[in-house]
Structure 1
Amino acid sequence: MMVGVAARKPIDPSEVRAVLISVAPWLRDQNEREPTRTDLAAAVRQTARTLAQVAPGNSVEVRVPPFVAVQCIEGPRHTRGTPPNVVETDARTWLRLVVGFDDMADQIEAGAITASGSRATEVARWLPLFPI
């Protein structure tokens, strides 16, 4: 008998859009009231998992600590240690990319995103995921 990890249920785009709309005022203006940790976590996790669904694979790891890390984009599978292709950023920067308020290349240049490995910047191909 094979025991494995249960598959995640598919992400419902309408649920993701609703949580993004709830955090949008803060994404537009950092002086607005910060979303609750629950709403922020839901927005980050659901959008990162959406990326993993639309760009399946294991060649790039996207990290938004402390909320989520997902692997995406077809290519060689990575299983141990630090992956060769990593994108890492904070929750607000990630969500601003997801909704189309920021450009990935600009945020890498500004130091808000670290992108290591030759394939890390390929994530930009799928952004924005949920333009608002």
Structure 2
Amino acid sequence: MAGARRRIDPTEGAAALAAWQEAAAPPSDLPVPRPVLATAVRYSLEELTARAPGNSVEVRVPPFGVTQCVEGPRHTRGTPPNVIECDAATWLALVTGQLGWADAVAAHRVAASGLRADLSALLPL
């Protein structure tokens, strides 16, 4: 996509995501080093924006990153009308297909507010 600004090298990001996926897969459930976790989250947020450019939905994965994506009305001030927030483990499970969108929302692992705050058509990446 033209205009998408990447801060994470795609090769490095994909490697971090693969490392997280391997560590998180049962039966290992190993802790992932914070820099690897941060890189995987930031890379996946950049990838989401590349695949669904726009500014109508804000996706927050504190403390690692935030992005705006999905075409629609642009948000510029205050709290966005469409916000999705979750922890890093939940986000990466969604990105890799280990967790489905509906299941994550039903289990309150994802906070989603607004008419456009549904990434089920975009996940897994």
More helix by share: 1
Partner of 1:126: 122
Partner of 1:113: 110
CA offset at residue 13 of structure 1?
4.3
Q: Alignment partner of 1:124: what SS?
A: coil
Aligned CA-pair RMSD: 1.8
Cα distance, 1:14–1:118 mapped onto 2, change above 3 Å: same
Length, aligned pairs only: 122
Distance 1:118 1:128 in 2: 20
Q: Which residue identity does 1:126 align to in structure 2?
A: L
Tell me the TM-score normalized by structure 2.
0.89
Partner of 1:18: 15
Partner of 2:60: 63
Contact 2:96–2:124 (8 Å) recurs in 1 = yes
Contact 1:27–1:95 (8 Å) recurs in 2 = no
CA offset at residue 85 of structure 1?
0.3
CA offset at residue 32 of structure 1?
2.4
Q: Alignment partner of 2:121: what SS?
A: helix
Contact 2:60–2:83 (8 Å) recurs in 1 = yes
1:88 lines up with 2:85 in the alignment? yes
Identity of aligned residues (%): 52
Tell me the TM-score normalized by structure 1.
0.84
Contact 2:8–2:39 (8 Å) recurs in 1 = no
CA offset at residue 33 of structure 1?
2.2
Q: Alignment partner of 1:56: what SS?
A: coil
CA offset at residue 23 of structure 1?
1.1
Q: Alignment partner of 1:17: what SS?
A: helix
Partner of 1:34: 31
Q: Which has the larger radius of gyration?
A: 1
Q: Which residue identity does 1:124 align to in structure 2?
A: S
Stretches of structure 2 that go unaligned for 5 or more consecutive residues are: none
CA offset at residue 25 of structure 1?
3.0
CA offset at residue 29 of structure 1?
3.7
Contact 2:57–2:68 (8 Å) recurs in 1 = yes
